[in-house]
Amino acid sequence: MLAWSDDLDVGNPMIDSDHRHLVALVNQLAEALSTREAPAELGRILGELLTFTTAHFAREEQLMQRIGYLDFAAHKSQHDGLLSDIAKLQRSFHRGEIALSERSSAFLCEWLLRHIRTSDRLLGKVAGSLVAA
């Protein structure tokens, strides 16, 4: 489980708000896995996580384009990689090829923390309090 702390703030209200929601969704998935929720509930949470992550990345990418962010291509590549990983995980889960595990939620937690503390922190410094167009 992730606990939100000030060290996760990147200095942009839109991004920080989205990150709080992403942390909540990852925690919801971890909780559902630890309490052995039904596969339908796990699938619902995973779907919500993919949908919200896609929307969040789109907002960040619009902001990066608006400010002419120099590291846009590398940052977007990170986004694309995670979205691809989550989509593959979702497809495999729905086909019954894999079971979601605490390892899945640990991967998401680690990726999110690393991305926020590195790439998004840099973006926050450049973007300040601007929001996507």
| pLDDT, tens only, 79-89 | 999 999 999 98
Q: What is the mean pLDDT of the chain?
A: 91
Give domain status of residue 3, yes or no: no
Percentage helix, strand, coil, to 5, in the chain? 75, 0, 25
Report the CATH number at residue 83: 1.20.120.50
pLDDT value of position 16: 96
Give domain status of residue 1, yes or no: no
Domain span holding position 28: 10-127
H-helix or E-strand containing 101? none
124: tokens are 């926050």
pLDDT value of position 37: 82
Look at the chain and report how many structural domains it folds into. 1
**Span of 26-30, 63-67, 125-129 with lowest mean pLDDT:** 125-129
Give domain status of residue 60, yes or no: yes
- Given the structure tokens 């894999």, which residue do they identify? 98
pTM value? 0.91
pLDDT value of position 133: 55
